């Protein structure tokens, strides 16, 4: 048993482990890191990564390699809510740059930064999020919100800031 | 207006189209059940022959004939795998998302049938990480319901056939859409593509024979076998049979995913998507995702939407993601955005790609910032040429082609911006 990982996380890791052949538990690293990151409200610590490595029995380095390669894993505390505004081609053509500057201005931060109260993290999103026909779009805590305009964005920010 | 959504998307407007009940009501799983109960007639060879006859080509972007790909799998007793590529991440592309959301059982049935055809008893469906809360629960519920109904697992419906299916969730990396990068990721590693050969059919997941197919490719299989190869093929043209889901985005009035017959005229496609936004004039189209070459209006307007026509026009059908660009758009800024994407997403394994994509982006950045030099255009073309063909996977080509084609067709816009300190010609 692990003291760092919660019972809930362990259950989730076991679920991932059950999908792969014996001896191929390395395949469960990504799923396990999702679970560990969720437990820790959005970011991974060395302690958590080491606990995952120990629990699924792989070398620590294999877990670090994964945690640093994939853009959905954060290795420092970035904030409570995560916003990704897609600025890839289809979204750009439909005004995503204005949406992004509006959000930056309203939050007083640049893309890639978090608000000083740690409430909102404005992720630097490079990938197209595969909702191009609903452009411009953004992802808020992994929920897709499409066909954005400034009013809609303001409503969402109000909600995240607890104003509505 | 032409008919759309006739095969894979036929049911997506039904309420609860994603549930097992609704899928069964539409005749779902009938092919899988037939195969299981009549293996002496519905042999794996029969399945592969039908798929070949249907002319289905891989919808992941490369258009490789699906039946042929399946026939490459070795016929030994080795453990084999069928892997579905639901990493959907080619910019402009979002139709697999709707399959996962609205017709997940077609994918489950398609994977089971594909597994039978190639002798794989295990399948993995690799879903991009960002689909965590939206598509993943749907496809995961579909798999669970199929197990509960006895349609998956050991000795399915007493047929002697085993087929286990698992969903996998990625964690954000465009390169994991490349099939060997995907296999590395599925093995729990960084998604760095493998050198080929050996191809996955000989050395795939865990070193075992593996077929990787795209979501749309696999979700089409049940309907092809249910209604016949000819029925499917007849939607399209001789060389591009069947239908394709077009993701039409950018400057159109009704952006959306539309499944249309291949070979349809460009004009009709734009018509289906409601015409060009704000009544403007068409300027250009990126016809098959950001990796395909841009085509100016004058060229694409004479194309039909199929593999040959777009290839003849020196572009490609790719994923069928048509990014429509109207008059007034700055092509330099657009290319810069595309190049930023490839720079950020290069896995860094091959020097020409790792270094070259950075060069491309930085040169474009200085041009848009008014610091471009006369020699920059030649430099861009030179760098792109040094990446193309010199990398382990096709990501390198995908980063070079936009640069080459944008400069070829819009040379004057780049030149103008360089000569006028970053001012755009487009506005
Ligand atoms: C950089 C790169 C990204 C790719 N991304 C995807 C993707 O997101 N989805 C996909 O199905 N295929 C993608 N592919 C194509 C796959 O490598 C592979 O050809 C495909 O999954 C095979 O399936 P198909 O034969 O059914 O098309 C990508 C290829 C490259 C080079
Ligand atoms: S370009 Fe923004 S979702 Fe695809």
Ligand 2 pocket residue status of A135, Cβ below 6 Å:
yes
CATH superfamily of A81-160: Glutaredoxin (3.40.30.10)
Question: B331-419 architecture in CATH?
Answer: Up-down Bundle (1.20)
Written as six digits, the tokens of B337 are 């955005």
- Kindly report, residue by residue over B292-348, the tens digit of the pLDDT: 999 999 999 999 999 999 999 999 999 999 999 999 999 999 999 999 999 999 999
| CA diameter of chain B | 74
pLDDT at A163: 83
φ and ψ at A145, to 5 degrees?
Answer: -130, 120
Alpha carbon distance B295, B303 (integer Å): 10
Per DSSP, helices labelled H in B55-135 are 66-71, 95-102, 104-118
* C-beta separation of B175 from B344 below 8 A: no
Domain boundaries, chain A: 7-69, 81-160
Tell me: pLDDT of B2 over 70.
Answer: no
Buried b (16+ CB within 10 A) or exposed e, B257-286: bbbbbbbbebebbbebbebbbeeeebbbbb
Ligand 1 centroid vs B57 CA: distance in angstroms? 12
Written as six digits, the tokens of B138 are 């749907």
Alpha carbon distance B164, B178 (integer Å): 24
pLDDT at B420: 97
Asked whether the beta carbons of residue A93 and residue B250 sit closer than 8 angstroms, the reply is: yes
Asked whether the beta carbons of residue B134 and residue A92 sit closer than 8 angstroms, the reply is: no
Tell me: pLDDT of B1 over 60.
Answer: no
Alpha carbon distance A101, B213 (integer Å): 39
Alpha carbons within 13 A on the beta-carbon side of B117: 29
A to B CB pairs, distance under 8 Å:
149
Tell me: pLDDT of B9 over 70.
Answer: yes
pLDDT at B246: 98
* A84 membership: H or E segment, kind and range: strand A81-85
- Kindly report, residue by residue over A118-139, the tens digit of the pLDDT: 999 999 999 999 999 999 999 9
Q: Could you tell me how far CA A153 lies from the centroid of its own chain? A: 19
Alpha carbon distance B219, B222 (integer Å): 7
Ligand 2 pocket residue status of A145, Cβ below 6 Å:
no
- In terms of Cα–Cα distance, which of A137, A142, A151, A81 is closest to A109? A81
Ligand 2 pocket residue status of A93, Cβ below 6 Å:
no
Written as six digits, the tokens of B254 are 């009704």
| ipTM of the modeled complex | 0.97
CATH superfamily of B20-233: NADH-ubiquinone oxidoreductase 51kDa subunit (3.40.50.11540)
pLDDT at B13: 87
Alpha carbon distance B99, B142 (integer Å): 12
* Residue that has been written with the tokens 């897709």 in this structure: A144
Ligand 2 centroid vs B93 CA: distance in angstroms? 8
Give me Rg for the CA atoms of chain A. 18
Is B187 exposed, middle or buried, given 0-12, 13-18 or 19+ CB atoms closer than 10 A? middle
- Kindly state the percentage of chain B with pLDDT values over 70: 100
Nearest atom, ligand 1, residue B174 CA: 3
Pick from B51, B56, B61 the residue to mutate for probing ligand 1's pocket: most ligand atoms within 8 Å of its CB.
Answer: B61
Alpha carbon distance A35, A41 (integer Å): 10
- Kindly report, residue by residue over B231-251, the tens digit of the pLDDT: 999 999 999 999 999 999 999
pLDDT at A1: 52
- Kindly state the percentage of chain B with pLDDT values over 90: 98
Residues of chain B with CATH 3.10.20.600: 243-326
What CATH number does domain B243-326 carry, 3.30.420.40, 3.90.1300.10, 3.40.50.300, 3.10.20.600? Answer: 3.10.20.600
Residues of chain B with CATH 1.20.1440.230: 331-419
Alpha carbon distance B73, B267 (integer Å): 40
Average pLDDT, rounded, for chain B: 97
Pick from B90, B249, B290, B338 the residue to mutate for probing ligand 2's pocket: most ligand atoms within 8 Å of its CB.
Answer: B249
* C-beta separation of B158 from B124 below 8 A: no
Nearest atom, ligand 2, residue A135 CA: 2
* C-beta separation of B426 from B328 below 8 A: yes
């Amino acid at each position: 048993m692990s003291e760092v990982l919660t019972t809930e996380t362990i259950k989730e890791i076991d679920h991932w482990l059950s999908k792969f052949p014996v001896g191929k538990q390395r395949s469960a690293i990504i799923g396990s890191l999702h679970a560990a990151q969720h437990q820790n409200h959005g970011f991974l610590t060395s302690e958590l990564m080491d606990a995952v490595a120990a629990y699924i029995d792989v070398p620590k380095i294999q877990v670090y390699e994964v945690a640093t390669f994939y853009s959905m894993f954060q290795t420092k505390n970035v904030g409570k809510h995560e916003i990704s505004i897609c600025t890839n081609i289809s979204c750009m053509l439909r005004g995503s740059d204005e949406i992004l500057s509006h959000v930056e201005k309203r939050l007083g931060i640049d893309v890639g930064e978090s608000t000083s109260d740690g409430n909102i993290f404005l992720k630097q999103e490079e990938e197209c999020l595969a909702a191009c026909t609903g452009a411009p779009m953004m992802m808020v805590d992994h929920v897709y919100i499409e066909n954005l305009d400034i009013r809609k964005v303001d409503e969402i920010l109000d909600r995240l800031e607890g104003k509505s | 207006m032409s008919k759309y959504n006739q095969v894979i998307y036929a049911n997506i407007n039904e309420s609860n189209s994603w549930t097992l009940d609704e899928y069964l009501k539409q005749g779902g799983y009938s092919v899988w059940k037939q195969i299981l109960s009549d293996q002496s007639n519905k042999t794996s060879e029969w399945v592969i022959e039908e798929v070949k006859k249907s002319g289905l080509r891989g919808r992941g972007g490369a258009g490789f004939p699906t039946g042929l790909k399946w026939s490459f799998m070795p016929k030994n007793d080795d453990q084999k795998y069928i892997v579905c590529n639901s990493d959907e991440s080619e910019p402009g592309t979002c139709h697999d998302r709707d399959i996962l959301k609205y017709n997940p059982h077609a994918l489950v049935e398609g994977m089971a049938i594909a597994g039978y055809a190639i002798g794989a008893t295990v399948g993995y469906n690799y879903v991009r990480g960002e689909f965590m809360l939206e598509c993943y629960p749907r496809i995961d519920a579909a798999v669970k319901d199929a197990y509960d109904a006895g349609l998956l697992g050991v000795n399915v419906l007493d047929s002697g056939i085993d087929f286990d299916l698992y969903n996998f969730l990625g964690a954000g990396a465009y390169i994991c859409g490349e099939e060997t990068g995907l296999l590395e990721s599925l093995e729990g590693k960084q998604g760095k593509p493998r050198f080929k050969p050996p191809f996955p059919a000989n050395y795939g997941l865990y070193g075992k024979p593996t077929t990787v197919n795209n979501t749309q490719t696999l979700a089409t299989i049940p309907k092809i076998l249910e209604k016949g190869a000819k029925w499917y093929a007849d939607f399209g043209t001789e060389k591009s049979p069947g239908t394709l889901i077009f993701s039409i985005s950018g400057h159109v009035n009704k952006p959306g995913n539309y499944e249309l017959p291949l070979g349809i005229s460009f004009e009709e496609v734009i018509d289906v998507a409601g015409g060009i936004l704000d009544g403007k004039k068409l300027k250009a189209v990126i016809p098959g995702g950001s990796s395909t070459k841009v085509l100016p209006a004058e060229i694409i307007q004479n194309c039909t939407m199929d593999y040959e026509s777009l290839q003849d026009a020196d572009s490609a059908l790719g994923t069928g993601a048509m990014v429509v660009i109207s008059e007034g758009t700055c092509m330099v800024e657009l290319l810069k955005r595309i190049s930023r994407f490839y720079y950020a997403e290069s896995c860094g394994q091959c020097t020409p790609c790792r270094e070259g994509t950075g060069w491309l982006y930085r040169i474009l950045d200085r041009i848009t910032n008014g610091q471009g030099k006369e020699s920059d255009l030649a430099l861009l073309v030179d760098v792109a040429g040094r990446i193309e063909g010199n990398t382990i996977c096709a990501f390198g080509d995908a980063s070079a082609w936009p640069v080459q084609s944008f400069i070829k067709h819009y040379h004057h816009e780049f030149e103008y911006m360089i000569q006028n300190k970053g001012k755009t010609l487009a506005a």
